Amino acid sequence: AQKITQTQPGMFVQEKEAVTLDCTYDTSDPSYGLFWYKQPSSGEMIFLIYQGSYDQQNATEGRYSLNFQKARKSANLVISASQLGDSAMYFCAMRELNTGTASKLTFGTGTRLQVTL
Amino acid sequence: EPEVTQTPSHQVTQMGQEVILRCVPISNHLYFYWYRQILGQKVEFLVSFYNNEISEKSEIFDDQFSVERPDGSNFTLKIRSTKLEDSAMYFCASSSGLVRDTQYFGPGTRLLVL
């Protein structure tokens, strides 16, 4: 069964600094996708970045990048130049791709990031 | 930019009552999902839906739950007889079904069962 672990319940970072949010995963499926979502206090789930298990390069989307270490089964999110608006809950999620195209996302417990002045 | 919409944003109901949560997925998406998030907890999968039938459901999705695509745009989740423990944020999501597939979430419906 697939599993996502986020060991940091909360993190603080100063504005303009970089921060890394940890995510480890476990799956027996060799083909999978890893996702990060942001959940602000308003509650919506905002897609940030995707990494496929066969991707050769780490994914980047603007200030977001994914430090993908396949052998360690980790997919850490790096946010560069933090802004006050980055304060939110961040969820790592995984989808196994060999179980079908409508396969579910499995989420971690999340990390609450607080950006300070 | 196309987005998933959900109505209502908030719903308060009495225990035992039926509720219907509505979603309009992104128009060219083929796969639809419901997830829920109990306050302060992680997001949990309920059900996936494709080609007018359920593809997968979790153990949470018991006989009290049903899903329907009544027309070409709406996707609904019905809870037949609500319980206190059904209080949660319910998210609808949709995806295109491509290999590098991303599920896009709606803003959620916050359900409170009294």
**Looking at CA atoms only, how far is residue B52 from chain A in angstroms?**
13
CA distance linking residue A20 with residue A30, whole number of Å: 25
Alpha helices in chain B (DSSP H): none
Decide if B105 and A44 are in contact by the 8 Å CB cutoff. yes
CA distance linking residue A74 with residue A38, whole number of Å: 18
CB count, 10 Å around CB of B18? 11
- A102/B71: higher pLDDT: B71
The per-residue DSSP string of B23-50 comes to EE--TT--EEEEEEE-TTS--EEEEEEE
- A99/B24: higher pLDDT: B24
CA distance linking residue A46 with residue A91, whole number of Å: 10
> Using a CB-CB distance cutoff of 8 angstroms, which residues of chain B are in contact with residue A108?
42
Mean pLDDT, rounded, for B23-44: 93
| CB nearest to B43's CB, from A42, A52, A107 | A107
Please give the distance of CA A73 from its chain centroid, rounded to a whole number: 13
Interface test with A, best of B34, B101, B110, B111 (most A CBs within 10 A): B101
What is the tens place of the pLDDT at every residue in A35-75? 999 999 999 999 999 999 999 899 999 999 999 999 999 99
Contact residues for A61 (Cβ-Cβ < 8 A; gap 6+): A48, A49
**Angstrom distances, CA of residue B12 to CA of A45, B9, B42, B57:** 22, 10, 22, 25
Interface test with B, best of A54, A101, A112 (most B CBs within 10 A): A101
What is the tens place of the pLDDT at every residue in A73-98? 999 999 999 999 999 999 999 999 87
Q: What is the CA radius of gyration of chain A?
A: 14
- Preceding amide of B8 cis, omega within 30: yes
pLDDT the model gives residue A102: 67
Residues of chain A whose C-beta is under 8 A from some C-beta in B?
A: 33, 35, 37, 42-47, 50, 52, 91, 93, 95, 97, 100-110
**Which of these, B107, B110, B112, B114, lies nearest to B92 by C-alpha position?**
B107
> Using a CB-CB distance cutoff of 8 angstroms, which residues of chain A are in contact with residue B55?
100, 102
pLDDT the model gives residue A99: 72
